Amino acid sequence: MERIGEYLVRRLLGEGGMGKVFEAEERLSKRRVALKLLKPELAKSEEGRRLFLNEMSILSRLDHPNVVRCLACSEVEGQLVMTLEYLEGKTLRQELTERGALPWTDAVAITVQVAKALAAAHRGDPPIIHRDLKPENIMVLADGCIKVMDFGIAKVLEAMHKTTTQSVGTLQYMSPEQIDATGVDARSDLYCLGLIFYEMLRGSPPFDSASPRQLLNQQCTEPPPSLPEAVRRSLPRGVERLVMQLLEKAPEQRPASAEAVLRELEPFAPAGDGGRPATAQQEREPADGADQGALVRTADTGGLRAAVAPSRTPLRVKDTIDLLDRTRPVREVPARLAWLAILGLSLVAGVITYFARSQQPRPEPSSTTASALQRQADD
């Protein structure tokens, strides 16, 4: 088994323009991690090494649920290595390849979580601009949680290459100002977010060409085509308006910040952090080890399902009615009402007894008693 520093490499997870990613195991703790080995040219110069370490030191302070955590950065035998949290899931690219266009509610839920990641990065000091936001850099976990990867790496690569020329695949997710090299800020990431949002709704990006020159021209000059009528029929106007606003060529005409995007999406977003509906088992039983007195959060709405009194025995809820029966308080009956009820029942019982006795036949006198009465009458 190959070893990289303190990690045992299990398998290759993927390979892209920035390097290779491996599943690995930390030798002492046995913790599963993802190792990203960046391109060797990054470590060949002092400038590349300095830029990498500077960006990673900034990224290490970015701790957000929708951002892949960077656990450590190191240099192993001249190779720059990032140790990342290991995630079970698919990239958004894989999701789109398998499903095609997504329901607008799913697209909004994903966009909201990506916007939260961008908001956290952009309000850093200094702000962290992604510069290469695309479906390949967005992870969709099994529970619907979204994780954004590779913050800051594109900045290092651009500085090393002294150019913004990238592959055609990346050109599909570059802002006009990034292509023109006129300066990149947070609104450049918002343009890329608009490209991804559009693609989730339509099933394909707004601009596509086999020619890099033509694709660059489309990104910089052509307005995005309208969404298909079949999509627009069910799409709220506010969502469509926001998508087109994100795709404005001029940065000042886009939303001012990721927080502004979140405010625009708030009326259409899930009640919580988004995500897929929980399974039936997840709906009925709290997670193992959870405090039974805590509020249980459902995955589909993010809302609070119920507050249950603490108990030493695990709670097993069969259905909603059972849950209500468990938590319904005992009703107390006032004393006066109780006495009136008892008195009324006693009265009813007395009346019933009286009528029952009055209907019974009177017994016939015996023959001995009848003879005695006859002799008294003769005397």
CA atoms of 205 and 221, how far apart (whole Å): 16
What are the beta bridge partners of residue 157? none
Q: Please give the angle made by the CA atoms of 15, 19 and 20, to the nearest 5 degrees.
A: 50
Q: What is the dihedral of CA 305, 119, 196, 182, to 10 degrees?
A: 180
Q: Count of CB atoms within 10 A of residue 135's CB?
A: 22
Catalytic residue among 132, 150, 189, 273: 132
CA 221 vs CA 197, 215, 248: distances in Å: 20, 10, 10
Active site (annotated) includes residue 189: no
- Which residues contact residue 335 at a Cβ distance below 8 angstroms, ignoring those fewer than 6 apart? none
Q: Is 266 left (phi over 0), alpha (psi -120 to 50) or beta?
A: alpha
Q: Which helix (H) or strand (E) holds 269?
A: none
In three-state secondary structure terms, 36 is: strand
Tokens standing for 194? 């608009």
Which stretch of DSSP H or E encloses residue 371?
Answer: helix 367-378
SS3 of residue 241 by DSSP: helix
Handedness of CA 178, 163, 56, 10 (dihedral sign): positive
Contacts by residues 311-316 (CB-CB < 8 Å, ≥ 24 positions apart) = 315/286, 316/284, 316/285
* 278 backbone dihedrals φ, ψ, rounded to 5°: -70, 155
The single residue listed with the structure tokens 């110069």 is 45
Give CA–CA dist 298/231, Å, rounded. Answer: 29
Q: What is the DSSP letter of 99?
A: H
Please give the structure tokens belonging to residue 204: 């394909």
In terms of DSSP bridges, do strands 79-85 and 70-76 run parallel, antiparallel, or are they unpaired?
antiparallel
Residues assigned a catalytic role: 132
